[in-house]
Structure 1
Amino acid sequence: MTGIPPSAVRAAADLASTALAAVTPDRLTAPTPCRDLDVRALLDHLAWAAVLSQLAAVRTPLQHDWSSLTPAPFLDGLPVEQWAAAIPVELDTAADAWADRAAWEGETLMGAAPMPASVVGAMMLAEFVLHGWDLARAIGAPYDVPAALGEATLAAVVPIAQLGRDGGWFGPEVPVDPSAPAVDRALGLTGRDPAWTP
């Protein structure tokens, strides 16, 4: 088990949901801080994160062709204008699953790959917080990360930052002042500029 409290996933999911609530149909093609992803693509990415998070918490594998353009199952067939409103329910389900301390123990599956459950739980927390930030920045919505959640996000990112850069999930590190808030330092480690604007 990491030092990250299971309740932090709930805080991360709730915060990401505030950004989702601010998405409007006219912003779906807006650029985001994520390379090559507009708001629509980022919504689908966050939806898949919610699905993967739920399954990992209960040790259920997912076989999926990631080269396919099929959206997350709960979005498939839904008009894209309704995607942002559909995702918070799935984030809630993920948060409920990770609220059980047993979910953080032993090994689980990330998709089909075995990984320590504590690492996956931490990754999913960071995924929710950081992609919520990406969305908020893309659409100009407020996004206030509480200090404790920022510290949890940083704790989740530090051990995987180099792996993320090597694997292409994160961009090159963006230098951030060491005295900056923890969430800004987490953003920098994952290749995001905390001062990014569209």
Structure 2
Amino acid sequence: MTDQTLFTDAVDLAVATIRGAAAGRYADPTPCSDYTVADLVNHLAFGFLLAHHSATREPWPESWTADSRAPFLRDLPEPEWAAAAEKEGAAAAAAWADPRVWEGESHLGGGPMPAAAIGAMMTGEFVVHAWDLAVATGQPFSVSPALGDAALEAMSGMASMGREAGWIGAEVPVDPAAPALDRALGVSGRDPAWRP
């Protein structure tokens, strides 16, 4: 399975969980202790936009900040967020579908980084946050073995940096024989058994 296919699958998974999260549950808690369901939907939506700009190598406007609402959601009522997020997710997936986008360097809001590392990191982010949203809203959730492996590799690669920066929690011990998704969740500070 190609990196491009895995990226698209991760976006599709995240979009499906956003679609499955009723706006009436937007105040509910999630495994991300600082995020409600609404915050998590916004975070995924913003992630689609950031990934899109990384693929096209467009600079990020200075008005974008890590804790602000995704620009395309700012003036929309919450029941319209899913459709808007789906549109931006499709744009990001289409941009990363070109194998040439994975070559050379791009950015993720800061200095230059290998584009392939950004694509892999965002693939993992979309998978684990899709899980967050699914369990928070009572949706079924499964991934292919390949996508689980991709999430584990991505989370393992960025966990140390994320912990130092404070945006990934302490690792949760998970059985080494557990599925790759569960191990990815543990590495990224999530308890695979978490429920609301």
Tell me if structure 2 keeps the 8 A contact 1:98–1:104. Answer: yes
Deviations 1:137-164 (A, max 9, x none): 1100011111111011112222111111
Name the structure 2 match of 1:160. Answer: 158
8 A Cα contact 1:4 1:122, kept in partner: no
Contact 1:187 1:194 in 2 (8 A): yes
Quickly say closer, same or farther: Cα 1:113–1:146, change in 2 above 3 A.
same
CA shift at 1:67, angstroms?
6.5
Counterpart in 2 of 1:43?
Answer: 41
d(CA) in 2 for partners of 1:110 and 1:5? 18
Equivalent residue runs for 1:132-147 within 5 Å: 132-147=130-145
Q: Secondary structure in 1 aligned to 2:71? A: coil
The residue correspondences of 1:57-76 to structure 2 (distance < 5 A) are 57-62=55-60, 63-66=62-65, 69=68, 71-76=69-74
Residues 92-111 of structure 1: matches in 2 within 5 Å? 92-111=90-109
Cα offset, 1:169, TM superposition: 1.4
Identity of aligned residues (%): 48
- Counterpart of 1:9 in structure 2 is 7
- 1:183 to 2:162 alignment: no
Q: 2:120 corresponds to which residue?
A: 122
Q: Which residue of 1 aligns with 2:170?
A: 172
Deviation at 1:64, TM superposition (A): 3.4
**96 and 44 in structure 1: CA distance in 2 versus 1, 3 angstrom threshold:** same
Aligned partners of 2:3 and 2:120 also within 8 Å: no
- C-alpha deviation, 1:4, in angstroms: 6.0
Contiguous gaps of at least 5 residues in structure 2: none
SS in 1 for 2:107: strand
The Cα offsets for residues 143-193 of structure 1, whole Å up to 9 and x where unpaired, read as: 111111101111222211111111111100000101111011111010000
Mark the CA change 1:40 to 1:177 in structure 2 (over 3 Å): closer, same or farther: same
Residue 78 (structure 1) aligned with residue 76 (structure 2): yes
Unaligned runs of 5+ in 1: none
Asked if structure 2 preserves the Cα contact closer than 8 Å seen for 1:61 and 1:112, the reply is no
